[in-house]
A and B are shown apart, each in its own frame.
Chain A
Amino acid sequence: MAQVQLAILLTSAALVIIGLYSAIFIDNIIKKIIGISFIEEGANLFIVAIGYKAGGVVPILMPGMDTSWFAANAAYPLPFGLVLTSIVIGASTLAVMLALVMVLYRRYGTLSTKVMLADTSKQEEYNE
């Protein structure tokens, strides 16, 4: 079952790398933001994979379960709790970024980062 964990770790690494690549090299701002959300998803997946226990059970204590058996077999729930917070934070950052993009689109009429986020001196030239 270690195969599962390996596959998950590789996936999260791939998501982080895809996200970093797009956040740095892609010119379109909305795609950049999509890429950033992939970095966040990769980090979340990694943290959930820490708590996973091969052949374990879901960490919810049902009535009738033996506590010592449960303690030995349940997955580690702390990382899951952290990821819940992190998912919500990611969504809210994404919303704020998209809102800023919508405002800036009205001013520039393009989604290109090179035009939108150039140095202020260059922006003044663009406006003139």
Chain B
Amino acid sequence: MNELIPLMVIVPLMAALLISAFSKFNKVTKIFAFVVAICLPLIPLLSNYGLHYFGGYQPMLDNVTGVMYHPAITYSFTFLQQIIIGAVGLLTFLVVFIYLTKYKKVSGPYLFLLFLGTAAVTAMILTDDIFHMFVFFEILALAQVGIVAASSIDYSYEMALKYMILGSIGSPIMLLGIGFLLALTGSVNVTDIALAVHTGLIDATSPVFLLSLALIFFGWLYASGLPPFHTIKSGIYSKAEPHGAALLQSFTVVSMISIVLIMFRIYSSLPIFEVLVVFFSILAMILGVSLALTQTDFRRMIGFLAVGELGFIGLGIGLGTNFAITAGLFQALNEIIITALLFIGFGAVVHATNEVDTRKLGGILAYHPKVAIMLLIGGLAMAGVPPLSGFQSKLMLVQASLSCGFPEISILAIMVSIATFVVFVKTYYTMFLKPKPNDLDLEGKEVPRTMVFAMGVLLIIIILLGIFPDVVTSGISNFVGGIL
């Protein structure tokens, strides 16, 4: 059923608009949001793989040059898209579920933003059209800003405005880069551009082509929160509501891989591209972990760790072999799920204690053992402890960098994993195991059941992916073989 491919974007988009229009009917809105949220992970599972041409414009064969042109906006749906959209859909479902049960009176605009963001990232990963991706990149930035501004945490407006200003500098710069590509090739379809580059229609060493790489790369750094944007990215995670942050980080990961895959298909013939990606990824890994070590706000700590994990994804894609890219994309899937678990779990702690400073916390283990154990497993998965899913993808990354002839990078990756472990265990100890401070009141405060349920679902996925990684990696490997 290929007709389902555009529905993956249309359903959340329409749901967002309808919810925002009819938000005064509280009960109807709740039921409607719940139904749509259930549909989101199901649509990609039911759909068949294939291509969808908007408007039905099939690719045309140029009789003179013998080259295929794609006049329509094309959505390509393969195994990678299926699992990523499925993961984001599941996460959206869990977050909407938590949100609906947390508040009696739901806010239409907030649900609008959640669904809008999901629609935007879905379109970004599906599309084969670089300008289409840019449009949804802008919509995603607006949705992220909205989710941050809508939280009731102090200084969320300031953080939202800061992110927005950086974003509105970054996105016209990316648009200029797309403009340069358009000027060179006369097309915005990635397949057409990549074909023109690989058949030598464009001089790959021309300064204009390099400039377009630099400009789009800048936009990518902004979208994925790699240095120099790591501070603002971890800032917006810590200023959003915890369930919102769980969704925000998945948006970041998906927009990062969708832009980097498009860049990889266009620029992979330039050696400088891979060097740049690996350089910024390593920078992100080191900076993320070392800044996480110094934080006392645990939401901020997880934010920096999430940025550090992004570095692993970039590392896999920067190394450029089939195995390495598979490892990077598998790491992306794992990170979406693991970081979401951590954000929701720490959100439960905030809910139970009203405190975000690790120095003022302690002894929560005795009061909320379920949350504590699930958080511990999530943190160990992030640090890469066997047999959890984070271990499998990091092992693959280390093997990939060894087989590419960079033992230094694999040592660095292992060291960063160990440092992640140290940071997490240190924070975990001060929050859960250390004796309870006297002025901390933990009696009679329950963690919402939906949060525990969401963590349980994510935990099952982490363990299953850790034990059976082949289910996912073989499919991703086929996809990577297609783009290399």
Contacts and interface: CB of A to CB of B under 8 A. Distances in A.
A–B contact with Cβ pairs below 8 Å: the answer is yes
B376 interface: no
A93 B164 contact: yes
Which of the four size classes fits the interface of chain A? 35 or more
Interface string B145-184: 1100100001101101110110111001101100100110
Contacts of B186: 76, 78
Interface string A74-91: 001011001001100110
Contacts of A89: 135, 138-139
B375 to A, nearest CB: 25
A68 interface: no
Contacts of A39: 168-169, 172-173
B94 to A, nearest CB: 27
Tell me which of A32, A100, A116 has the highest count of chain B C-beta atoms within 10 A of its own C-beta: A100
Nearest to A118: B158
Given A96-B164, A100-B161, A123-B155, A78 B188 contact: yes
Contacts of A117: 158, 161-162, 165
A113 to B, nearest CB: 9
A82 B168 contact: no
Contacts of A33: 165
Given A36-B168, A120-B155, A43 B176 contact: yes
A100 B179 contact: no
Interface string A1-44: 00000000000000010011001000000001100100110110
B188 A82 contact: yes
A45 to B, nearest CB: 10
A53 B383 CA distance: 56
B471 to A, nearest CB: 39
A57 interface: no
Contacts of B167: 93
Interface residues of B, number: 31
Contacts of A19: 172
Nearest to A32: B165
A39 B138 CA distance: 15
Interface string B77-101: 0000000000000000000000000
B161 A79 contact: no
B176 A97 contact: no
A62 B149 CA distance: 49
B366 to A, nearest CB: 32
A40 B157 CA distance: 23
Contacts of A100: 145, 149, 157, 160-161, 164
Contacts of B139: 89
A110 interface: no
B220 to A, nearest CB: 17
B304 interface: no
Contact of A101 (B141, B161, B175): B161
Which 8 residue pairs across A and B have the least CB separation, nearest first? A43-B172, A100-B161, A47-B179, A39-B172, A43-B175, A50-B183, A36-B168, A40-B172
Interface of A: 16, 19-20, 23, 32-33, 36, 39-40, 42-43, 46-47, 50, 76, 78-79, 82, 85-86, 89-90, 92-94, 96-97, 100-101, 103-104, 107, 116-117, 120, 123
